[in-house]
Chains A and B, each alone.
Chain A
Amino acid sequence: MVGDGEALAPEGLQATIGVVPMGDVGEVAVRIVAAHLQTVLGLAVDILERRPVSDRCYVPDRRQYDAAKLIAALKECSASWPYLKIVAVLSVDLGVPILRFVFGEAEMGGRCAVVSGYRLRRNEDGTDAGLEVYYERLAKVALHETAHTLSLFHCDDPRCLMHFAASTKHLDRIRLFFCARCAFLLKKTVQTLLESHGP
């Protein structure tokens, strides 16, 4: 379901997203991400073999992993994998050169995305968010980043999944749906992709 109850993948056509657990991210978190991608986007999802987090992507000065480098490494190793999109799920702190931290990162219109639950477990005030909230946040970030790989831009609607959430407080305000405009664009993009790739 893309928007309110609408299936994304046209009937008869199939495409699969590969979800890769990386490092010591929990099994449940990975399964929840996979289930949400499948349900909300309406695309088939395979959970792939767990892989280690590459040390090359670690930035000692910031005690973080560079999300852009992780994507580059993922692209390299997944080149031969038969998946439309690859989403890696991690539990390490992610950053990019210009931003102090990110919840996830994706190539705009590309193939790979990374998401991490590291900063999603706690609320802004430092209190524990609880498992249910944590999993919902992770699912939202995964959907947001995967939609970037499907060429969707940030959205002005503050409740849409494509709205830029700079904090967990923002993330909690967002619903688990795309707004009508983003849902339409997403459906169009996926249709075009499936037609060019075949079922």
Chain B
Amino acid sequence: MTGRFKILVADDELIVRESLVAWLKKGGYQVDAASGGGEALESLEKSAYDLLFLDIKMPDMNGIDVLRVVKQRYPGTMVVMITAYGSVESAVEAMKLGANDYLMKPFEPEQLALLVEKLLQHKKLIDENILLREQMATAAVERYQDMIGASPAMQTLFEMVEKVAAVDSPVLIKGETGTGKELVAKAIHARSARRYGPFIAINCGAFTESLLESELFGHEVGSFTGAVKAKKGRLELVRGGTLFLDEVGEIPMKMQVDLLRVLEERRIHRVGGTRDIPVDFRLISATHRDLTKAMEAGHFRRDFYFRLNVLELEVPPLRARREDIPILADFFLRRFRKETNKPVESLDKKAVELLCAYDWPGNVRELENAVERAVVLAKGRILTEDDFAFLKRTVGTVEPQSLEDMERLHIQRILNLCRGNISQAARILKINRTTLHSKIKRYGLTGSA
């Protein structure tokens, strides 16, 4: 029952150390020993301890100095100072600095047993308290549905979501890749009257034209080679709920007409079918593209655009709400700590500064990946600037020397932005796919970062 508590004994005298470790082990505690202050701090850096027995007089580092560091860096660890007979003054000083108790060598057996039991009970209560406070903190103002943000930009967005959810009109969500457009769509659905119906999402950029048509409208038997069974489309399946069309800018022109008709007539035909099927859904679409430019270029229908864009929401990029970066980083850290079971506790000041200074072209998704990577590879309990060193090496931060370098970096940046989607990247770069492929091969680029 006591096995879950971890205790560290720091004393330079081998016999004292061994004796205390042996006694604590008989209590079923997990016990480690350190022969000096420096070694104790190294152990605390590597893993979390519930209780630390700390000798005041140690040759390498005074116990009082170790206590100061422990109380600053690891406030969750309870500390009992060990003193020799006649050094009560130091013990008093230690208590003022935040030590939980002190013992004079040799201890009364009853005193030691009671002290350990009392402190570990106290520690258990503190841990429960911290857990509750963490749960409360994430449930507080900065959290709305599954979105996190205390910045004015996000607070405005949350207010807009609330207003938009109250009506049934189509919504167009704009925002860069990785800003959380789907989360906004889900929040609208969850706050709307359609919340008991399904939320069905489809990424329009992930399908070929014929597949997208079949996915949306469904098909009848024999409508094309391989259609051996009739299949309901998502427009049919979403009955009573919300349909989320992600990357709506990728929908081919022909299908834009079909969808426009569905929005106006509220009925569909399956591919290869003639029967009218009534549909009932709310449409939310999202894009990271500038659809007005696409309209001017003739890639997007004006009437379809106005049908989608009855209500418009814009999700701000992460660089426009830098004050949310520490909250988000902390949220992801706690999530990955739980998932990876690694004892990473927090980010230090410099790491937070680095994260806040970085531009995050991939937005919240990129931040999430960066924190996950740092947690997985972390060696200590506190994430430092070094754990995020890879951000400094990210493409784009190196100054290119030649025109060729510039082209290579630019193509890689666009590929990252499009998450490896060649067609999309080729469109943005205004070159054809074959040219893009040959450049990727020539520069040895990767599909995505």
By the criterion CB–CB under 8 Å, are B109 and A108 in contact? no
C-alpha spacing A101/B108, complex, angstroms: 7
- Taking CB atoms and an 8 Å cut-off, the chain B residues in 97-118 that contact chain A are 105-110, 112-113
By the criterion CB–CB under 8 Å, are A99 and B27 in contact? no
**A193 to nearest B CB, angstroms?**
19
By the criterion CB–CB under 8 Å, are B28 and A99 in contact? no
Give the size range of B's interface with the partner.
Answer: 20 to 34
Q: Is A77 part of the binding interface, using a Cβ–Cβ cutoff of 8 Å?
A: no
By the criterion CB–CB under 8 Å, are A98 and B113 in contact? no
Task: Using CB atoms, name the residue of chain B closest to A164.
Answer: B113
A166 and B106 in contact, given A98-B19, A108-B25, A153-B2 (Cβ under 8 angstroms): no
**B139 to nearest A CB, angstroms?**
35
C-alpha spacing A96/B446, complex, angstroms: 66
A100 and B28 in contact, given A68-B15, A156-B1 (Cβ under 8 angstroms): no
A-B contact count (CB 8 A): 64
The listed residue (B13, B18, B26, B106) touching A153 by CB distance below 8 A is B26
B112: A residues at CB distance < 8 A: 98-99, 166
Q: Is B327 part of the binding interface, using a Cβ–Cβ cutoff of 8 Å?
A: no
Task: Using CB atoms, name the residue of chain B closest to A99.
Answer: B109
By the criterion CB–CB under 8 Å, are A95 and B106 in contact? yes
A68 and B18 in contact, given A102-B109, A108-B26 (Cβ under 8 angstroms): yes
Task: Using CB atoms, name the residue of chain A closest to B110.
Answer: A166
How many chain A residues touch B (CB < 8 A): the figure is: 19
C-alpha spacing A184/B113, complex, angstroms: 25
Task: Using CB atoms, name the residue of chain B closest to A96.
Answer: B19
**A86 to nearest B CB, angstroms?**
18
A148: B residues at CB distance < 8 A: 26
- Taking CB atoms and an 8 Å cut-off, the chain B residues in 110-152 that contact chain A are 110, 112-113
By the criterion CB–CB under 8 Å, are B27 and A153 in contact? yes
Other A-B pairs beyond A153-B28, A154-B26, 10, CB < 8 Å = A96-B23, A98-B19, A98-B105, A98-B107, A98-B112, A99-B106, A108-B22, A148-B26, A153-B2, A164-B26
Listed in ascending order, the chain B residues whose CB lies under 8 Å from chain A are 1-2, 13, 15-16, 18-20, 22-23, 25-28, 105-110, 112-113
